[in-house]
Amino acid sequence: MICNERENRERAILQAATEMMTAARTAPKGKGADVVEIATLTGTDLVPVAAKMRQIAEEKGFKFFLRDAICVEKADAVIFVGTREQAQGLNCEYCGAQRCDLRSAGTPCAINSIDVGIALGSACSKAADLRIDTRVVYSAGTAAQELGVLGDAKQVIAILMSIGSKNPFFDRPKPQ
């Protein structure tokens, strides 16, 4: 039997994404409350994300969204990590309010934000173990959040993945 690596890339990237999502899921969570949402998109499912990034770039003048849209199109897969909003009741003041019940509408719980960051770090650590090229980008996460990729999850951040011979996220074109 001959197993050609080029013929197994799709399976390999999905296996790596699964392992990365598992690492994100099992990462420590504030107060043990699991409010993190995670999903992977590949292939044509990434087209609406890149299109939304271009739309946001046009509407808000964020040129780096255009650059990152090109990276999304070059990615073999993109993992999205976000959080459902749930104040953890610690009254930690990290969000700027003196108590959780005094937070203004739309102000995220800082513990939820930290959970997303720890999950991203854990997933990227697994990617490094697997020698997967990655890039963490806010822009694709913003587009995915607007598209509802993770339902009503907020603070969505994306991990772009590639298993090509050269990291397509390293020499990114400058935004025009």
Q: Which two tokens stand for residue 148?
A: 């509802």
Q: Which amino acid is at 42?
A: T
Strand partners, 75: none
The burial class, CB within 10 Å (0-12 / 13-18 / 19+), for 12 is: middle
* Average pLDDT over every residue of 17-33: 95
Beta carbons of 127 and 166 less than 8 angstroms apart: no
Domain spans of the chain? 5-162
pLDDT tens by residue, 42-94? 999 999 999 999 999 999 999 999 999 999 999 999 999 999 988 898 999 99
Q: Supply the pTM of this predicted model.
A: 0.93
Residue ranges in 9-132 assigned as alpha helix (H): 9-26, 47-60, 63-74, 110-130
Please tell me the CATH code under which domain 5-162 is placed: 3.40.109.10
